[in-house]
A and B are shown apart, each in its own frame.
Chain A
Amino acid sequence: EAQVTQNPRYLITVTGKKLTVTCSQNMNHEYMSWYRQDPGLGLRQIYYSMNVEVTDKGDVPEGYKVSRKEKRNFPLILESPSPNQTSLYFCASRGTGGYQPQHFGDGTRLSIL
């Protein structure tokens, strides 16, 4: 089954404790992206990647890092999480042949205390 898998689904942690949210897709998509979703602010893009070793900033990259060492994986790293990074996070992937929809993971609800 074609899917984007995020882990963990839920995480409660404390300020300053480094964490990684993993994202993996099995559709051989070149494009992958991270979003955060906050009430009243909609989907905001954090980082995206056009292919292995190619990443670029989205609209709200501060406080986040990403890497794309393999095509299928695109982890999101919070080196020193802060309470304002409490949010619902989504990973998405997309094929690049013509116009295609993005496929989303189930989301990671992150609470930073």
Chain B
Amino acid sequence: SQELEQSPQSLIVQEGKNLTINCTSSKTLYGLYWYKQKYGEGLIFLMMLQKGGEEKSHEKITAKLDEKKQQSSLHITASQPSHAGIYLCGADVPPGSNYQLIWGAGTKLIIKP
């Protein structure tokens, strides 16, 4: 079955540094969603990407979907302690899938002060 691979699995970054998390599929992604989860809490929707080459930003977080729509990246600029948590990507599989999403395993981000 189609899977989403997230990398890295975990990341420790010095506060103030930039970082990138990747989400890759072997097949075309029809909708790509980024979520953030604070440890043991709910998933907060960050951004959605649909079109190849699309890029969206919110505060210091930028998400991109490549032209082939098989890879997305989440970039955080000048990281802060509030960015710590688990980042998950989810994606729509091809039409006819009953609106199911597939999920990456998550990237655990730790910010060192």
Residues of A participating in the B interface, judged by any CB pair closer than 8 Å:
31, 40-43, 45, 48, 50, 56, 88, 90, 92, 94, 96, 99-107, 109
Contacts of B104 in A (CB 8 A): 42
B48 & A99 in contact (Cβ 8 Å cutoff):
yes
Q: Which residue of B lies closest to A30 (CB)?
A: B99
Question: Considering the chains assembled together, what is the distance between the CA atoms of A103 and B105 in angstroms?
Answer: 18
B31, chain A: closest CB distance, angstroms:
3
B-side interface residues, number (CB < 8 Å): 23
Contacts of B106 in A (CB 8 A): 42
Q: Which residue of B lies closest to A58 (CB)?
A: B100
Partner of B40, one of A45, A96, A105, A107: A107
Residues of B participating in the A interface, judged by any CB pair closer than 8 Å:
30-31, 33, 35, 40-45, 48, 50, 88, 90, 92, 98-101, 103-106
Contacts of B42 in A (CB 8 A): 90, 104-107
B99 & A94 in contact (Cβ 8 Å cutoff):
yes
Instruction: Say whether chain A's binding surface is mostly helix, strand, loop, or mixed.
Output: strand
B90, chain A: closest CB distance, angstroms:
7
Q: Which residue of A lies closest to B106 (CB)?
A: A42
| A-B pairs with lowest CB-CB distance, top 7 | A99-B31, A106-B42, A42-B105, A104-B43, A43-B103, A101-B45, A31-B99
Known contacts being A42-B106, A56-B98, A94-B99, is A99 close to B50, with CB within 8 Å?
A: yes
Question: Considering the chains assembled together, what is the distance between the CA atoms of A92 and B100 in angstroms?
Answer: 11
A88 & B99 in contact (Cβ 8 Å cutoff):
no
Contacts of A43 in B (CB 8 A): 88, 103
Q: Which residue of A lies closest to B1 (CB)?
A: A59
B40 & A109 in contact (Cβ 8 Å cutoff):
yes
Partner of A106, one of B33, B41, B50, B98: B41
Contacts of B31 in A (CB 8 A): 99-100
Partner of A99, one of B30, B35, B41, B43: B30
B33 & A101 in contact (Cβ 8 Å cutoff):
yes
